[in-house]
Structure 1
Amino acid sequence: MKEIITAESLLRDRGLRVTPQRQGILQIFLNDPGYHWSADQIRDRLLGQMPGLARGTTYKVLNELVNAGICEELATQDGIALYGLRLKPHHHFFCTVCHEWSDIEISGISSLTIQGHSPAASIDHIDVVIRGVCVKCSTQASKP
């Protein structure tokens, strides 16, 4: 049976105090774990439930979630940071048509070696981004 992860339990497990802002933001990621949002998109989604949610608070919480290893921050080509859930290692697919990012799993990445660097160089982590056209955009393009 698959264990259900709640925002509250995840925050507690990572040593973060449970606040309405942290729970609300984290719940967005838990509801759609493969999707990536900008800080403004996250704030806009929560304003109905939390009318006083400040932009600065949103960025602060996102930074805390990234530092706790719960979320990741992706730097996009247009300079807007996107945030997504990062509970397990994964890589990304970027659609060049709709500009959406999605999480993907790739095998064989752990056997990469560094060439042209000192033998003492070590890899902390590898981030792979595959660019192409997503299924949704491919389907729409093939319709008459």
Structure 2
Amino acid sequence: MSETNMDVGEHAALFPCGSSDHEDCGLRLILDRLGEKWTVMTLAELTSGPRRYRELERALEGISQRMMTLTLRRLERDGLVVRHVEATVPPSVSYELSELGHSLATRLSEMVTWSRKNKSLIEASQAEFDARG
């Protein structure tokens, strides 16, 4: 095993995408999106089905209209969300996860489950580390 490879058991090996000895696998691309504050919460809100803009805005307490618009546009650009406009007066706009968005939401659900399961272990480790000061 190389120094840049980590043994992750039965799962695929993790490589630093984009390093000089490994091609760019797109990990940085998705981490840029997931690192944005509202992305994961927006995806989570859309897992239950299509939502109108205002419904999403109300569900994501604390999000500004500008940030809501930017987040949805970025997710749409990445192919994770589909925007639908109905020709009503005023126009009705709704958003839903694309097939790609659903596949990502499934992975995020696994991460949430892992974090719930391990939250107390992480907090205990942090407290121990901080106590060593």
TM-score category of the 2 structures, normalised to the smaller one: 0.3 to 0.5
Could you state the TM-score of these two structures normalised by the residue count of structure 1?
Answer: 0.44
TM-score, length-scaled by structure 2: 0.47
- Decide which structure has greater strand share: 1
Bigger helix share: 2
**Which of the pair has more CA radius of gyration?**
2
